[in-house]
Amino acid sequence: MSLADRVAAEVVRLRSDARILTIDIERLPGRARMEHRGLTIEGDFWDLSGWKYIIGRRIHPDDVIEWPRTICAAWKWHGTPRVHFAAEWLPGDTSWLHAAWDAYDEADIVVGHNLAGFDTKKLRGAWLELGLPEPRPFKTIDTLKVAREFGFESNTLDALCKRLGIPAKTDKYSVEIARRHHRDRGTVRLLPRPHAQPPAHRPGIRRARMQPVRIHRPQAECQAAPCAGTRVPAVPVRGLWRQRGGEPA
């Protein structure tokens, strides 16, 4: 059989029985703590540039207490109704990452929103930390890249689903609930309940409200409430960062 015939045969096979995987992940932000101009600053971050508006620079890796991490994934095979779910708080510890790897390794085509720029990259990093090899080659269909070809004002999956008449999210992903869910080992509902129809949306959103950055003022500089040793949220005041109840930070 010639190479052209083999390629043609593979195309026919993919059209007829390609394994098409739709997947989404959820993550927790990291935590960092640093000394800055006599203050101790601590809070959540998604990337090392996340605090530039406060400290004017990137977070140094040595200031990281806990790195952001992927905590769960949900996926579905095209043509089947079942939605698979795996998470780090479920029995087996890191086995959920192996389950996600198995799904990628089995897939011919992987579909997701911002899949190429986010989900797959984050999973590959987690797999590398576990010493797992790359899954076998697959084709990526990133619905965010597809949506950008149509000139919509918003390309979030929720906005697109609502505009196109597709069942959208019924709930939102929350960092606080996710942390509590992990601590309580699954007794708190983290993701929206499945739709009556096969869900066409991701099980939640990634941009979630994080805990505020907290600034700790040394006792020597504390003139009024809050007292020394109390961490309070920093709030923007005309371009400056002021402690609630204190002097400009």
Radius of gyration of the chain (CA): 22
Please choose, from the candidates 31, 54, 59, 49, the residue with its C-alpha nearest in 3D space to the C-alpha of residue 249.
54
Q: Report the distance separating Cα 55 and Cα 35, nearest Å.
A: 10
Can you give the residue ranges of every domain in the chain?
Answer: 15-206, 212-249
List the strands of the sheet with 240-243, edge to edge. 64-66, 30-36, 39-45, 214-216, 232-237, 240-243
CB 177 within 8 A of CB 192: no
pLDDT (tens place) for every residue of the chain, 249 residues total: 555 566 566 555 655 678 999 999 999 999 999 998 888 999 999 999 999 988 999 999 999 999 999 999 999 999 999 999 999 888 765 688 999 999 999 999 999 999 999 999 999 999 999 999 999 999 999 999 999 999 999 999 999 999 999 888 777 777 777 777 666 654 444 444 433 333 343 333 333 345 556 665 555 555 544 444 444 344 333 333 333 333 333
- Kindly report the pTM of this predicted structure: 0.68
Please choose, from the candidates 173, 141, 143, 140, the residue with its C-alpha nearest in 3D space to the C-alpha of residue 160.
143
CB 214 within 8 A of CB 223: no
State in words which class domain 15-206 has: alpha beta
